Amino acid sequence: MREPVGPADDGSVPDFDFSVVPETDQSFENALAKARAEERLTVPDGIELLTTGTDHDGIDPVRKEAVLEAADRRRAAVVGEDVTFVANLNNNVTTACNTGCLFCNFKDTAHQFEADHDGEHAGFTKTPAESRTIVEDALEMGIYEVTSVSGLHPAFALSDEHHEILAAHDDPATDVDYKPPAVYETDPGTYLEQMRAMSVGDVHLHSMTPEEAQHARRGTEWSYEDVYRELAAAGLDSAPGTAAEILVEEVRDVICPGKISTREWVAAMEGAIAAGLDVTATMMYGHVENEAHRVEHLKVLRDLQDRTGGITEFVPLSFVHQNTPLYERGVVAGGASDAEDELLVAVARLFLDNVENIQSSWVKFGDEKGLKLLNCGANDFMGTILSEEITTRAGGTYGEFRSFSDYVEMLSAIGRPPVERSTDYRKRRRVDPDDPPHGPRLGPRADGTPLLDEAERGSRPAASADD
């Protein structure tokens, strides 16, 4: 683990001496020709497209448009004009976490949650019963996907058996980041109990990132596949491929030295897929990494998909820098530019020739840029997200609810058909803009009634998840 990073001696943003750098022997023109011809791209091809050519500094606007156009055409050829979205809710169980990722402002150091701790904190932990109530209420409104991504609470264990194994360590807090639930003000229950609680009435439960899966097997020799099988038996339906950040070790060493390695992340994803679960894949970019790291990351995902075919969508997450330690300590000056966001989505579409769906996240990008990215290679516009906690706490301003009417209005304005989908994309329904009111219909209790009326909407706290 590295020493904590901070600004350079002169106070400026530090320059990292990375070994992976955006230099290639390829030309931009050759890379673009390959992309247009739908040939599989190499890492150097991807770097040329993402940088709009390593033969000059900065982004060339004309070349950028050529890349975006190639990606938009590929999107149309692969998935057509439909733009999909899902009726979902985020229910994050706890913000207690000791991992200390420098891009994250979602967590609160776990000792603050201990019963004898003096002082206030803004975090929360939900019991399984509280999670169940939240999901039941959402299901009643027509929601059919629940996403749950949480901090790594030291009292969280997979099961009672796992509690016993963790407690038997000589120094559980230091050895395996474990303290018994009795130490804390609120007991989050076990992961299996939370899965059972949130798996209500055919709702699709999307939870247990690779990092959480590792936490659910820490201190044991259990395989990821076995852990995911137990979670699936308790109600888990698919796993979010967050905690990926940038899947290159020299970047992880800087931004999340306490987190699992690239190898572990891939092993966890393979375990989830072997256990019969679909997975998504993410990338969080726009911090200390360069374009070569971004393309190396895409290569890891493409290889994983070649081996497994289990990735349903790729979700690019532009780094929200405000209020994060990376920004506050002067390690980064800001996030990605609009042009970088557009190119990242476009190159992902062109490079990931084996992943059908690319998401544009309005939580990370806002509506205007989110819509623009649907013309740069993306085809999915995320979900309704009835609560957003992670991004809003990090300073994002887009953490609000989007209704089906919002989707219909926004997508009609750009001339694209709004299509409601299930989490796994296997069920789809075109929404007729001329037949309001608009509400979800694919869920077990979804009958087309809008999720919230305007009055309720105004009173809801902003809230979502994901790294």
- Quick check: 99 binds ligand SF4 (CB under 6 A)? yes
Residue among 75 and 107 whose Cβ is closer to ligand SF4: 107
CB of 243 to ligand SF4, least distance (A): 7
Stretch that binds ligand SF4, among 95-103, 116-124, 129-137, 217-225 (CB under 6 A): 95-103
Stretch that binds ligand SF4, among 64-72, 101-109, 176-184, 434-442 (CB under 6 A): 101-109
Stretch that binds ligand SF4, among 99-107, 124-132, 427-435, 441-449 (CB under 6 A): 99-107
Residue among 64 and 153 whose Cβ is closer to ligand SF4: 153
- Quick check: 107 binds ligand SF4 (CB under 6 A)? yes
Residues 126-155, mask of contacts with ligand SF4 (x by CB under 6 A): -------------------------xx---
- Quick check: 392 binds ligand SF4 (CB under 6 A)? no
- For the beta carbon of residue 323, count every other beta carbon within 10 angstroms: 14
CB of 105 to ligand SF4, least distance (A): 8
Residue among 326 and 385 whose Cβ is closer to ligand SF4: 326
Maximum CA extent, the chain: 66
Indicate which single residue of 89, 104, 135, 386 sits in contact with ligand SF4 (rule: CB under 6 A).
104
CB of 70 to ligand SF4, least distance (A): 34
- Quick check: 106 binds ligand SF4 (CB under 6 A)? yes
Residue among 395 and 417 whose Cβ is closer to ligand SF4: 395
Stretch that binds ligand SF4, among 97-105, 158-166, 195-203, 346-354 (CB under 6 A): 97-105
- Quick check: 211 binds ligand SF4 (CB under 6 A)? yes
Q: Please give the size of the binding site for ligand SF4, defined by CB under 6 A.
A: 11
CB of 106 to ligand SF4, least distance (A): 5
- Quick check: 407 binds ligand SF4 (CB under 6 A)? no
Residue among 139 and 152 whose Cβ is closer to ligand SF4: 152
- Write out the residues near ligand SF4 by the rule CB under 6 A: 97, 99-101, 104, 106-107, 151-152, 211, 467
